[in-house]
Amino acid sequence: MKRIKNILTETWNLIKNHPILSILIFLVIAGLLMIAYLRFVLGWVPILDSGFIKYSVTKIIETDPLTQKTIETEIHTRTWWDWLELLIIPVVLAGGALFLNKSERDNDRKIAQKRFENEQSLALDRQCEEAIQSYFNRMNDLLLEKNLLKSKNEDEIRAVARTLTISTMFSLDTRRNCLLLHFLSEAKLIGQKDPIIKFEKNDLNKLSWSEGNLRGLNLSNFDFRAANFSMANLRGVDLSNSDLSEANLTQADLGIADLICSNLSNSILRSAFMVEVNLSNANLEGADLTGAILSDSELIETHLKDCDMSCVDFENAIVSIEQLAQTRSLEGATLPDGTTFHGDPKDLLKKYPPQTPPPSSEPDPNHASVLKTYSAPNTDKPEER
C-alpha cells in the first residue's frame, strides 16, 4: 500500500511540474471518455468493433474527356483508430521524452550530490589532519620546552595541555581521536597513577569511538558514560574503575580487557567478544549481553541483577549460581560446564545447590571465591599429565 502511495505521489509531482504532459494526459482521458459516451450512451456500436471498424472505400468512376478512358478513384475514409493514432503517437513520444529528460536530470542531480559529499568529506578530512598535526606540534613544545612531564598538579601548563587536548578531540574524527589517546599514553600523559592530563566527567562521553582502535590502552578511571564503542577494538584495554554506564559496546572486542570495579550498568554489550575478561566486582545491573562470549572470564562478586544473558557463552567462566540466578534471562546460554540452559534463571538454585564447607574445616581466605564459583555435576575426566 505504501509503495502504491509513493508511485501516485511521484506521478502527481511529475504531472504538476510538466504542464504539457498534463494537457496531453487530459486530452487522452477526454478522448477515451468521448469514445465511451458514444459507445455506451449513444449506442454507436462500430466504434469499438474490429479495432474501430475497417476502412470504408468509396469508388468514384469518371471518364476522361480527352482520352475517353474510365478512371476509378478510391477514397479511404478515416476511422476512429486513425484519429487515435494521430493522438496516441505524439503522447507516447512526448511522454518518453519527458521521462528521459527527468531520468537524465535525476542522474545529474545524484552525480552532483555525490561529488558534493566527496568534496565535503575531503575538506573535513583535511581539517581533521591539520587539527591533529597542530596539536602534536603544540604538545611537543609543551613536552620538550615547557617540561610538561615534570610539572606539578597546580602548574598552569597542565591546565593548558588539558584544555588543548579536549578542544582538539571535539574537532577530530574517531580514527584520529584514537591516535591522540595512543599519543597521550605513549607520552605517559595518561595511564599513570597520577596522570598529567586528567579527564573529568562529561569530557569524553559525547565523542563517538565506534569502530575505533584503542587496543592495549590504560583508560582506568575514565568517564565514558553513554559513549558509543560499537564494533570498537578494546582488546587488552584497562578500563578498571571506569564509568561505562549506558554505553553502547555492541560487537566490541573486549578480549583480555581489565574491567575490575567498572560500572557497566544499563550498557549494551550485544554479541561482544569478552573472552578472558576480568569483570570482578563490576556492576552489570540491567545490562544487555545477548549473544556475548564470556568464556574463561572472571565474574567474581560481579553484580548481574536484571541482566539479559540470553545466548551468552559462559564456558569455563568463574561465576556463581547465585549471580546467574539474579539475571533477567539465561535462555539459550551456555553454562560453565558446557550445557545449554533453558528456563527461569532462579531454577539454577534448585538444580545446582551452592557448596558449603565442612563444619570442622577452618575458614580459608581463598575458599570464599571457590565456594561462589559455579558448581557443576561431577564428570569423569582423564587426569592431565
pLDDT digits (tens, 9 = 90+) for 86-114: 666 676 777 777 777 777 788 888 888 88
Q: For cell 477515451, name the residue.
A: 32
Query: Domain 205-377, what architecture?
Result: 3 Solenoid (2.160)
pLDDT at 268 over 80: yes
For residue 378, name the pLDDT band (cuts at 50, 70, 90): very low
Note the pLDDT tens digit of each residue in 220-229.
Answer: 999 999 999 9
The tens digit of pLDDT for each residue in 209-245 reads: 999 999 999 999 999 999 999 999 999 999 999 999 9
* pLDDT the model gives residue 345: 92
Region 64-90 average pLDDT: 61
Nearest to 308 by CA among 267, 339, 349: 267
Residue whose C-alpha cell is 556463581: 320
Digit-coded pLDDT (tens) for 121-172: 899 899 999 999 999 999 999 999 999 999 998 899 999 999 999 999 999 9
Burial class (CB in 10 A: 0-12, 13-18, 19+), 17: exposed
CB 316 within 8 A of CB 293: no
Q: Which residues pair with 238 in a beta bridge?
A: 218, 258
Show the CA angle centred on residue 87, arms to residues 81 and 88, nearest 5°: 80
Domain coordinates in residue numbering, the chain:
2-65+74-111, 128-198, 205-377
Output phi, psi for 343, to 5 deg: 125, -165
